[in-house]
Structure 1
């Protein structure tokens, strides 16, 4: 008898068939305990696959036969990992397939905000380019500047590679661990957060959201940054105190920001961030390419099959 799997996002046809060959799929648009149909299906499910949704202890208690949760993401701050672990439920994620794409996005944000690409492109569309450009249209160089990377995991290392070899940037990084191979390969320096903030031209956040990283960047930290420095965040929105960031931008404590993530998503249309010319805001597109999203879905399907078959080799968060 096939295990029952609750699927709460669309899959490409090939991947859907792969999962259907292994499991009895019950598909829903969202995770909603308000639906009697969903609750009854969840009560008999062995697996769960999708992205997002609040998977807390109450949710988990509605699934007495659950053996594995496979999230189509690298992050899992929406999941109560401790509650899963207590029930011996495996949490699977996709940490490797999106590394390069997110690093590309971060480098794109660096270039976009420093060279003011969205702002100046919009000026042309508004018909404002009627003569040779003047200094008030100038941007800031990226090459040979100093990039400070907060968090030196897979994405941090991929970003350091792009910045060092592609743009001859100096690399500083702050992380719990100092990596000799990072120091040697990118001529990088492991340092305190304070030193990184004081010396970096671009402060780039690649951290996950944990109790320790929540609001790691606040008013005190922004005051340490150089007034001509930029903040780039493609980690998790709540690593940054958004009100403190808005204040720092308004008071010109920093030069600008490139943001792919926000404390609350979708970002409210009334957010002051959207009216600031020195802010490039994009809708959490870090991994949003056709190739990467397919690879993430494929990885999540393979993860779930492995977990339900007791053949886990990688990508398990809690076991």
Structure 2
């Protein structure tokens, strides 16, 4: 009898075809009715799950009788109740590292776009406002040789620092729960307190994991410490940043601009931030390239297969 796999989000077509050849597969489809009820029914006799973007916890998994693994096509895992999974003996695998470089590319895209007012001036030009030589209202910020502060010097944070140091000759500051001497040395990066980083950085990039310490880390008090010409970029998790405080900071010109790829609620269909010319907003596309998504799907597939064949997955959240 074939093992059963629940696919709880849209995944790569080739990966889905492979799964269907090997296992009994149930695909959760919002068009077929309530997603939570579909999950509850499907996991009763499921051996594994694969997908991304769904909240999975006791509410929709308590009916599972033999679930061994959830293989998430993501780096972040804040939408899974890890404590519940661990207590229930369910392994949670994820896909770090494969999206490091493309997410770092996106972070720098946001940094440059916000600093140079790319989206604002694009619209300004298309609307016919370019009547004469531009004035100070169209000026952007210098990037080369300035100070880049990175909160979270993990794999993505380190990749962002490399781009700033080698590509733009930037001075690198970083802050996190611990100092990373090995990572910092090659980049001449200096570990400092959060307050010092905010006060001294021309650009602040949030690349930290979401945890109890980082939730609402950048609030009104933190934004007030930043320089008036500073640019804030968030590619970590929306809950790290107080969006209402950011709105006030931009309106009151406490900081110059911001670039966002993540939000407290996603998908974000309406927001006061959308009304601000000095905020660049993207729809959580940090890993959204065909090449990277394929690599993530391949890794998630392999880790699912590993567990169903009795092996431990390579990247385990709850060992």
Same fold (TM over 0.5): yes
Indicate the residue corresponding to 1:257 in structure 2.
258
Displacement of 1:291: 0.9
CA 1:138 to 1:179, structure 2 compared with 1: closer, same or farther past 3 Å?
same
Deviation above 6 Å: which 4+ runs of structure 1? Answer: none
TM-score w.r.t. the length of structure 2 is 0.95
Indicate the residue corresponding to 1:290 in structure 2.
290
Instruction: Show the 5 A alignment for 1:65-80.
Output: 65-80=66-81
1:164 & 1:190 partners in 2: Cα distance?
15
Instruction: Show the 5 A alignment for 1:93-112.
Output: 93-112=94-113
1:5 & 1:305 partners in 2: Cα distance?
10
1:219 & 1:63 partners in 2: Cα distance?
43
Q: Cα RMSD (Å) of the superposition? A: 1.4
Displacement of 1:264: 1.0
2:231 & 2:24 partners in 1: Cα distance?
49
1:210 & 1:32 partners in 2: Cα distance?
27
List gaps (5 residues or longer) in structure 2. none
Report the secondary structure of 2:37's partner residue. coil
Does 2:2 match 1:2?
A: yes
Indicate the residue corresponding to 1:220 in structure 2.
221
Q: Deviations over 1:151-199 (max 9, x none)?
A: 0111001100111001111100001221222222111001111110110
Q: Deviations over 1:247-288 (max 9, x none)?
A: 21122111111000111112242x221111111111111111
Displacement of 1:125: 1.4
Q: Deviations over 1:27-56 (max 9, x none)?
A: 112582334xx4332201111111111111
Indicate the residue corresponding to 2:17 in structure 1.
17
1:299 & 1:238 partners in 2: Cα distance?
27
Report the secondary structure of 2:304's partner residue. helix
List gaps (5 residues or longer) in structure 1. none
Indicate the residue corresponding to 1:182 in structure 2.
183
Does 2:202 match 1:207?
A: no
Indicate the residue corresponding to 2:35 in structure 1.
32
CA 1:164 to 1:154, structure 2 compared with 1: closer, same or farther past 3 Å?
same
TM-score w.r.t. the length of structure 1 is 0.95
1:283 & 1:44 partners in 2: Cα distance?
35
Indicate the residue corresponding to 1:49 in structure 2.
50
Displacement of 1:313: 4.7
Report the secondary structure of 2:186's partner residue. helix
Report the secondary structure of 1:5's partner residue. strand
1:282 & 1:225 partners in 2: Cα distance?
23
Report the secondary structure of 2:247's partner residue. helix
**8 Å contact from structure 2 (residues 304, 313) kept in 1:** no
Q: Which moved more, 1:18-27 or 1:114-123?
A: 18-27
**8 Å contact from structure 1 (residues 19, 305) kept in 2:** no
Q: Which moved more, 1:97-106 or 1:49-58?
A: 49-58
CA 1:185 to 1:289, structure 2 compared with 1: closer, same or farther past 3 Å?
same
CA 1:137 to 1:188, structure 2 compared with 1: closer, same or farther past 3 Å?
same
**8 Å contact from structure 1 (residues 22, 305) kept in 2:** no
